[in-house]
Amino acid sequence: MSDARSIAEAVRSGETAASEVVDSSLAVIAEREGEIHAFNIVLADEARAAAEAIDRRVAAGEDPGPLAGVPVALKDNICTRGIPTTCSSRILEGWCPPYDATVATRLAEAGAVLVGKTNMDEFAMGSSTENSAFGPTCNPRDTTKVPGGSSGGSAAAVAAGFTPLALGSDTGGSIRQPAALCGVVGAKPTYGFVSRYGLIAFASSLDQIGPLATSVADAALLLDVVGGHDAADSTSIPEAHASLAGVLGEGVSGLRVGVIDELSGEGVAPDVLHRTGEAAEALSAAGAKVEEVSVPATTYGLSAYYLIAPAEASSNLARYDGVRYGLRVDAASTPEMNEATRTAGFGDEVKRRIMLGTYALSAGYYDAYYGKAQKVRTLIIRDFATAYESYDLLLSPTSPTTAFALAEKTDDPLTMYMNDVCTIPSNLAGQPAISVPFGTGDDGLPVGVQVLAPALGEAAMFRAAAVLEEAAP
């Protein structure tokens, strides 16, 4: 399957039928989905009907939009009207939202065709897409390895050529880390850049929807379509943003780039560090001024995140009570029914984080844990602000290692959490970051490098990402 821009141009001009594009996408899915399990549901009939409607519009001389006929996949925590949205959890099994998320509406208005909802770590809690109630997703580059998480299904769908574009959500690295492990482009925009209306909440102050794509240009195109103000989301940024697709050729000449010391040392594999060093050299060769920079508080990012995110999750997930929607396990009394429903409906990792978060918010521990974590978050924001006084962009690895084996880390939550050490700081600060594939590690599997930018610095970030993509080994 070719890139999204080429598909859309061919469909809009009448050179290719959207129906042919969708049939081709569904054929690739039929061939490999059995071994990869990227999807929780494939919407073959709905996708064909949507493609036929686009072909009729083209035949009538209409322009269906910038993503005309392009197959897309949505992470299964993004609401789709009348289509099951499960968060890969038993507790939402069979629930069909009565409305569409804003991003789903914007995709449809741009002419994109939804072909399925992708597998994920349950309620987006995980780094490997092994915490799904519907079984793990495998990495298309090597099916014995994880695709990363929690947007592993979306990353795998793009890497396998099922769809050229997918949307994921990123709370602590859940777009960028799987993008790195699967060898695709994944971006987390500034908090508020993309509407969260219709995104099922994990940690509301951290969650952000963003694109996964095979190229930087396609990621920019998708972000241009779904980004922008939405009155339905009170945290949505009111200012309009300039087209990101329009800045990709501007290069990095004159930009100042800092390579983050704290994210380029202990715990990061030598082959990943080697590629990050090569990426720094590539930016320097393209005219950027590249130096090492210290952002001290990033070393506390992991600790702060694993108090703040579970605390917000324990509050957000209280709505799954067996009363209003989703699973209900009957019992003699309401409290017993609540307990039985949650015991049956939530998986181990979700229960672990709910308990951790409830403890951190409980009387007597609030100031010691949650309050202190929020102070650390402020330190991280300040340290980034200091760094951005001297640098336009920052650089780091995306993930400390290449893709690891399925079941390798499932018994050790702490080792699993370490996968997010490079990505979490951007979420805590509400700032954008993008992972770009940059060669392979010693095992032949993809390595991703991460470009970080200050809030609303997406334009410069995408310019650097395009340079890195061009220079990638």
- What are the catalytic residues? 75, 150, 174
Distance CA 283, CA 294 (A): 19
Tokens 């890969």, located at residue: 88
DSSP assignment letter at 227: B
Among 414, 390, 445, CA closest to 127? 414
Q: Tell whether omega for the bond before 150 is within 30 degrees of 0, i.e. cis.
A: yes
* Entry field: residues in the chain: 473
Q: Are 369 and 304 in contact (CB under 8 A)?
A: no
Contact 313, 125 (CB under 8 A): yes
Bin 459: left if φ > 0, else alpha if -120 < ψ < 50, else beta. Answer: alpha
Number of neighbours of residue 118 by Cβ within 10 angstroms: 32
Short-list 111, 118, 107, 117, CA closest to 228: 107
Q: Is 147:139 a contact under the CB 8 Å cutoff? A: yes
Q: What is the Cα–Cα distance from 449 to 217, expressed in whole angstroms?
A: 17
